[in-house]
Every structure is written in C-alpha cells, then in structure tokens.
Amino acid sequence: MRVGVIGTGRVGLVTGACLSSLGHEVTCMDADEAKVATLREGRTPFHEPELDDLVRRGTDDASLIFVDSVGAAVKGADVVMICVGRPPVGADDRSLSAVEEAARAVARDAEQGVVVVVKSTVPPGTSGHVAHAMGSERPDLACSVVSSPEFLREGHAVADTLRPERIVVGADDDRGRQIVEQLYAPLVRAGHRLVRTDPRTAELAKLASNAFLATKVSFANGLARVAELAGADGRRGDRDHGHGPPDRAGVPRRGPRLRRPTACRRTS
C-alpha cells in the first residue's frame, strides 16, 4: 500500500521505517526542513535500536522517502498517518492545533477515498473533530478517519512497532477499518493482537494506558521513598515480594526517584 506519514519525529519516523520494512511504499513528511534534509542524508535525528538499518534499507530500495511538502506525501496515498506532536507543555497543553493543521493540509491535497489515521496522542473525540476539520476544508473529499494510537516505548520503538503487544484500530466505517487492517496485516499474520473498536474508545485506550503508567510510576516512587527511609531494598520488595515482575513502569529503587513527565505530575 502507499502510505504518507505527516510528522517525522520518533513516532512518525519509526512508523514509516517499520511500514516500509513490511512491504509498503512510505513517504514521510515533516514541516521541519532541516530534519528532512538530515533524513535524506541517511542520518536519523535520535537513537533507536534497529532504526538506522531500517531507514537505510528503505531508502536504498526507495520504499521509504522523505519530503517537506504535504502534497508530495499524500499524492497517491491510500493511507495518511498523522504523527505530529503537540505544543510544548506550558504553551497551551490542551491545544490540538498541530493535529488539526496537519489534517487540514492533508484534506487540501488528498486523493478521494483516502484513509487518515490519527496516531498522535489525543483526547477522546478528536478523530471526529479531525473529520469535521477535513470536511470543512474540502467538502467534496470522501475520506475515513481512523484512530490507531501509538504505544511504543522510547528505546524500544522499533521492537514495539514490529512486535507490538497490541494494535488498536478504532474505526466507525468498514472501509477505513479494512484498509488499516490491510496495513497491519503482516503483523497480525505474525501473531500480534489487533483490537477492533470505535475511534473514541481507541483514543480512550491510549489515555488509560498513559494514566495507568503514571499511576505505576507514582506507586514505584512512593515505595522507593519508603525503602530509602527504612533502609529496605525497594526493588526486591516490589518485584520479588510485592506485585510481580518489573514492567514498563520500571521498579522502585533506592536513590533518585523515577522520573517520567506526565501532564498531571506533581512537582512537590
């Protein structure tokens, strides 16, 4: 399939490189021209295990290309994935301006029947907002908007994309769902779990995942503080005698507390 990726940060670049390795033709676009130039030179702007190899292989066989205009990314694309970030915390935490701006730009240049996948982390209901924005930008465009949130971990991004614990596809229409399932078909054939739902529930699943992770980090930090005061081994107390093996939240340890930024993290 032909795939356009809008936003070539960690999520967009890893998604694009992995999809090209699965046999799709991928065009990655970013508004940051310097980033696009770096990628065209074969350099990746951050480190992720396996990523450099995937990008090199994709660019060598031309299944992965980098462009700096939305038009070039969406021309002829069956699927366009929106992977842009959000404004920095403190500027306007709740603003979805980047996602909406990307969606409107996609609408202007997209082919009839395009399927737009929102991979950015967004509040429940955003896919509907994206569909509305695209419709007001280009009323004649027939398109489907599907939510497929990203669950990758930094430092494990390629492994989490090619060997995901689950793939969530939230669609309201059959055609959009079928096209996105085709996109992920090689992963499903390899035995990875695909969860079908509606867009709002898919967006909520990502919110729930982040909130649960934040809860686990807070729990681990609290236990680490108690361990520090008591002179106990917080790692063993939690993992071996508490709630089981370490998971994505990490385990408490003595010394500096785990740090992971979340929108609601208390600083005191």
Ligand X SMILES: NC(=O)c1ccc[n+]([C@@H]2O[C@H](COP(=O)([O-])OP(=O)(O)OC[C@H]3O[C@@H](n4cnc5c(N)ncnc54)[C@H](O)[C@@H]3O)[C@@H](O)[C@H]2O)c1
Site string for ligand X, 70-89 (x = CB under 6 A): -------------xxxx---
Q: Which two tokens stand for residue 132?
A: 């509305």
Work out how close the CB of 104 gets to ligand X at its nearest, in angstroms, rounded to a whole number: 9
Handedness of CA 257, 260, 265, 267 (dihedral sign): positive
User: If binding is defined by CB under 6 A, does position 35 make contact with ligand X?
Assistant: yes
User: If binding is defined by CB under 6 A, does position 198 make contact with ligand X?
Assistant: no
| Closer residue to ligand X (CB): 88 or 245 | 88
Site string for ligand X, 145-174 (x = CB under 6 A): -----x-x-x--------------------
Instruction: Answer yes or no: are the C-beta atoms of 121 and 149 closer than 8 Å.
Output: yes
Q: For ligand X, how many residues bind (rule: CB under 6 A)? A: 24
- Report how far residue 154's alpha carbon sits from residue 47's, in angstroms, rounded to the nearest whole number: 9
Work out how close the CB of 148 gets to ligand X at its nearest, in angstroms, rounded to a whole number: 11
* Among the listed residues 50, 52, 101, 198, the single contact to ligand X using CB under 6 A: 101
Q: Which two tokens stand for residue 28?
A: 């990655």
Instruction: Answer yes or no: are the C-beta atoms of 100 and 117 closer than 8 Å.
Output: no
* Among the listed residues 3, 4, 5, 11, the single contact to ligand X using CB under 6 A: 11
Q: Tell me the residue nearest to ligand X as measured from the CB.
A: 9
Mapping DSSP to helix (H, G, I), strand (E, B) and coil, where does residue 251 land? coil
Site string for ligand X, 125-144 (x = CB under 6 A): --------------------
Q: Which residues pair with 194 in a beta bridge?
A: 167
Report the phi/psi class of residue 156: left, alpha or beta, with left for phi > 0 and alpha for psi in -120 to 50.
Answer: alpha
| Closer residue to ligand X (CB): 164 or 252 | 164
| Closer residue to ligand X (CB): 25 or 150 | 150
- Report how far residue 80's alpha carbon sits from residue 103's, in angstroms, rounded to the nearest whole number: 10
Strand 2-6: give its sheet, edge to edge.
64-67, 25-29, 2-6, 79-82, 115-118, 144-147, 167-170, 194-197
User: If binding is defined by CB under 6 A, does position 6 make contact with ligand X?
Assistant: yes
User: If binding is defined by CB under 6 A, does position 8 make contact with ligand X?
Assistant: yes
User: If binding is defined by CB under 6 A, does position 7 make contact with ligand X?
Assistant: yes
* Among the listed residues 121, 127, 144, 218, the single contact to ligand X using CB under 6 A: 121
User: If binding is defined by CB under 6 A, does position 12 make contact with ligand X?
Assistant: yes
| Closer residue to ligand X (CB): 95 or 136 | 95
- Report how far residue 15's alpha carbon sits from residue 35's, in angstroms, rounded to the nearest whole number: 16
Instruction: Answer yes or no: are the C-beta atoms of 96 and 126 closer than 8 Å.
Output: yes
Radius of gyration of the chain (CA): 20
Residues near ligand X (CB under 6 A) are 6-12, 29-32, 35, 83-86, 98, 101-102, 120-121, 150, 152, 154
